[in-house]
Amino acid sequence: MDTPAPRSNFIRDIIEDDLREGRHQRIVTRFPPEPNGYLHIGHAKSICLNFGAARDYAGQCNLRFDDTNPEKESDEFEQSIADDVQWLGFSWEERYFHASDYFEQLHDFAVHLIQHGKAYVDSQSAEETRLNRGTLTEAGRASPYRDRSIEENLDLFARMRAGEFADGAHVLRARIDMASPNINLRDPTIYRIRRVAHHRTGASWSIYPMYDYTHCISDALEGITHSLCTLEFEDHRPLYDWVLDQLPVPCHPRQIEFARLELNYTITSKRKLHALVHEGLVSGWDDPRMPTLKGLRRRGYPPAAIREFCERVGLTKKQTTIDMGVLETCVREDLDRNAPRVMAVLDPVKVVIDNYPADLVEQLPAANHPKDPAFGERQIGFSREVYIEREDFMEEPPKGFFRLAPGREVRLRYGYLVTCTHVEKNAAGDVTTIHCQYDPATRGGNAPDNRQVKGTIHWVSAATGISAEVRLYDRLFNIADPGSEDDFRQHLNPDSQRVIPDAKLEASLAEAAPGASVQFERLGYFCADLRDHSAGRAVFNRTVTLRDTWAKAQGKRD
């Protein structure tokens, strides 16, 4: 895969220092998603960081699913996550793990904590626990069950595992410090009763470990050297270290926090993305307007562009919001290099070249990528009737309009020079057909007498072109920070999707594979839809415009 040159950042500085000082002979990282939803653009930063650091320092990166909440997890989500990691260009090789792989060991470590007086079974209600936890300015109060004997705690915990108690009857808590200024250390829950089948372990467990307890132990069991996570876990680091300090684990990984990726004009909250899908505000998790990796992939975002974007925005300890235009620029740059050019007409009006033979279809050579001869050429059909964009013709053109108009000559790209002679209109006065004459001596668009023609327009042959559905996508929200609003639904962009049912495309696109990216010349970058495109039905999604028109349009709206 194409790999952007790594940029220096504080995490790389730490890794390099650790390797240089001999603290580690080889780094081991992990990407640890919970299989309870679909990955979004924010997760891409963590994927690229963890797998990228392992790649750049000849280390290893594990894919591990922290599957400790069976009520919200599924095989569907797990498979989707694995597919997204591979699509981004990374491989975990044989290192594919689950927290549930360690359920027995996690249980045994909990017993170890009980035996050493570091954990106890608490029988308070959830409301009592919350009230006794304290606040940021007030210390918590000890549970009345905090001083149960080791024997009683071991007995109750064994019965919890055996399924004797209802959900919520008891929890296992770490015994740390109810007066700690860090609320995460105020005897956090490490096991709770959940009489729910797990998607991997079935009904074999009635108790499940909490994330904060599971995560650090899983890291240690896998020999992780650098546990990289986002800033919201910074206050959890003392708990991460405390758990490992109490247990006979094979190593003690170092947790390092970085700022998560936030983009304007979008949301990454799982709850809000879930609402968009289940309220029918988008067509699904892979809707091309969604910030999910499935949605970005369907829209046509190249994985290399996402990797470059993650590298370009870098790593910091300060939370900032990145402009969507930065991501779109990375997409444009990648597609400019790698997408072949074709011609398409989205708002067609017919042009009849009256002096061109009615039964002739010529095959004209056209460059697949004018900037890169290695892409070669294709043949495009030219006929008496062609389609052009309606906006490329004006009956009364203003100054500075260099496209087709009555009496004016323009160049049909790769074709001929044509001159408009007259038009046909319908009862409403709309132009329905434009009549032209062509100059047979200008095949390829070059005039033998070197006469100057300022306008060049694209076209599609009516004889050989195909019809297609084209979907024009734009940003899902019309304000920069929709997540900060009470009801983000009120700020959905009504123009985020526009469907053109009968666009005209050149014939070469009839065989385009789902997911194939192209540039529609003068119009933007598009891809064949992964779900709906087929040999019998052409469906193309606009990935991104040729230039950043959003900022200019927003300026006009403001």
Model confidence over 280-330: pLDDT tens digits? 999 999 999 999 999 999 999 999 999 999 999 999 999 999 999 999 999
Residue in 407, 498, 408, 403 with CA at minimum distance from that of residue 457: 403
pLDDT for position 274: 92
Fold that domain 270-340+468-557 belongs to in CATH: Ribosomal Protein L25; Chain P (2.40.240)
| Average pLDDT of the chain to the nearest whole number | 95
Residue 270: active-site member: yes
270-340+468-557 and 344-458, same CATH topology: yes
Asked if pLDDT for residue 453 goes beyond 60, the answer is yes
pTM here is: 0.93
From the candidates 260, 350, 403, 489, which is the catalytic residue? 260
pLDDT for position 3: 57
Q: Per the structure block, which two tokens stand in for 428?
A: 């409403």
Q: Per the structure block, which two tokens stand in for 540?
A: 């193309």
Q: Per the structure block, which two tokens stand in for 56?
A: 């750049």
The correct CATH number of 10-260 out of 3.40.50.720, 3.90.1150.10, 3.40.50.1700, 3.40.50.620 is 3.40.50.620
Residues 36-64, buried b or exposed e (16+ Cβ, 10 A)? bbbbbbbbbbbbbbbbbbbbebebbbbbb
Q: How many residues does the chain have?
A: 558
Residue 151: active-site member: no
Asked if pLDDT for residue 531 goes beyond 50, the answer is yes
The DSSP annotation for 101-125 comes to GGHHHHHHHHHHHHHTTSEEEE---
The DSSP annotation for 485-543 comes to SS-GGGGB-TTSEEEEEEEEE-GGGGGPPTT-EEEETTTEEEEE-TTT-BTTB-EEEEE
341-398 pLDDT, tens digit each = 999 999 999 999 999 999 999 999 999 999 999 999 999 999 999 999 999 999 999 9
Asked if pLDDT for residue 556 goes beyond 70, the answer is no
pLDDT for position 558: 45
Alpha-carbon distance of 468 to 481, in angstroms, equals 35
491-517 pLDDT, tens digit each = 999 999 999 999 999 998 988 999 999
Q: Per the structure block, which two tokens stand in for 105?
A: 């060991």
- How many CB atoms within 10 Å of residue 189? 16
Alpha-carbon distance of 339 to 337, in angstroms, equals 6
Alpha-carbon distance of 211 to 66, in angstroms, equals 7
From the candidates 133, 270, 312, 443, which is the catalytic residue? 270
Cα separation values, 304 from 39, 86, 297, Å? 17, 12, 11
Q: Per the structure block, which two tokens stand in for 498?
A: 């526009």
Residue in 389, 544, 532, 503 with CA at minimum distance from that of residue 456: 389
pLDDT for position 452: 86
Residue 260: active-site member: yes
Asked if pLDDT for residue 460 goes beyond 80, the answer is yes
pLDDT for position 548: 80
- Residue 282 has phi, psi (to 5 degrees) of -135, 170
Asked if pLDDT for residue 156 goes beyond 60, the answer is yes
Residue type, 306: I
Interval 172-198 mean pLDDT: 97
Q: Are strands 517-520 and 524-528 parallel, antiparallel or unpaired?
A: antiparallel
Rg (CA), the chain: 31
93-116 pLDDT, tens digit each = 999 999 999 999 999 999 999 999
From the candidates 30, 34, 254, 409, which is the catalytic residue? 34
Asked if pLDDT for residue 41 goes beyond 50, the answer is yes
Helix H, strand E, coil C: the string for 497-511 is EEEEEEEEECHHHHH
Domain ranges across the chain: 10-260, 270-340+468-557, 344-458
Q: Which CATH class is domain 344-458?
A: mainly beta
CA 246 to chain centre: 39
Asked if pLDDT for residue 140 goes beyond 60, the answer is yes
Interval 338-343 mean pLDDT: 98
